[in-house]
Amino acid sequence: MALANSTARIRQKKRQRLIIVLILVLLAMGAGAYFYLAPDKKPKERVRPKGTLAVPRVSQPIRIGDRISFKQVDLDYLKPYEVPPDALMKSWQFNGRIATRNIRLGEYLHEEDLAPPGAPDGFSGMAKSGNRVVVVETGSIQGRLFLREGDHIDVLAINAPAAPPKSGGGVTREDGGSQPGAGGQPKKATVNTAVSTSATLVAEDAVVMLTPKKGPDTDYMVLQMKPEDAHITTLSLASGQKLRFVFRPFNDAQRITQPKKLTATTYPAKDSRLVEVIEGAKTTAQTPLLVE
């Protein structure tokens, strides 16, 4: 009888321990769910010193393509003359918008760093207005190890050189005359032919948005460029050409030593009867053949 009571008490203690463990697990899961699923709250505004302005500043690094939330931003209090030009001042100006570049810790937010409100996720949301995004597989890139996100580059398409002749790099031809002492046999001469490589400038001032990453699904890079450059670059890739890059200074506009007069250029309206035909880096206008 005593043995049965002892066994019952042991089972009861085990059940109690199990219940306590389950309750602790449920509490931990609830706390985690609240932390991750709770709606974003605006950054807490501390007591603002007199004569200062509250300016949002990045408190966590923001990757290109990320949607910005209040959790990634804190407030900095600056004198009016210390506020960076064009810095966003209100939370509704940046919350939920997509970053179009990598924004580092401590930076202030600017309109040019964000996609328009309502932009979709993906590369279409990351592209700046008036530009296009081109995804390039790393197998088509030469010198990709030197690329960094944010680099400004010119893109060259390299034309593969023709295979050299098998006769040691020259072309053998028969000379019309005869060589003395050779039994009147025609004299053979070798004409050296140089193997040349050509390149075509397909894009100017493209911006590196994403650099190649290792992995089966990430072995590519992303470039942002002008629409016409994006189309020519895509055609060059489709023809099997390799890409090579020339790095540009990030502040080209600041390197102008003398002021230049800006003039507006107008172009005549396109003839609706013509279509544009793109062949490599050349664009021509042709009249389509109409079949009745």
Question: Which pLDDT does position 214 carry in this prediction?
Answer: 66
* Consecutive H or E run containing 178: strand 170-178
Whether the predicted pLDDT of 12 surpasses 90: no
Q: What is the pLDDT of residue 51?
A: 87
**pLDDT band at 47, cuts 50/70/90?**
confident
pLDDT of the residue at 279: 64
Mean pLDDT of the chain: 76
Beta bridge partners of 224: 133, 207
Among 3-17, 193-207, 232-246, 274-288, the least confident range:
274-288
What whole-number distance in Å separates Cα of residue 277 and Cα of residue 219? 32
- Is residue 192 within 8 A of residue 172, CB to CB? The reply is no
Least confident of 7-16, 20-29, 181-190, 271-280: 181-190
Q: What is residue 177's predicted lDDT score, i.e. its pLDDT?
A: 47
Comparing 214 with 231, the larger pLDDT belongs to 231
For residues 73 and 94, the answer to whether their CB atoms sit within 8 Å is yes
pLDDT band at 171 (very low <50, low <70, confident <90, very high): very low
pLDDT tens digits for range 72-107: 999 999 999 999 989 999 989 999 999 988 899 999
Tell me the pTM: 0.55
* Lookup: tokens for 280: 């490599």
Cβ neighbours of 236 (radius 10 Å): 23
pLDDT for residue 246 is more than 80: yes
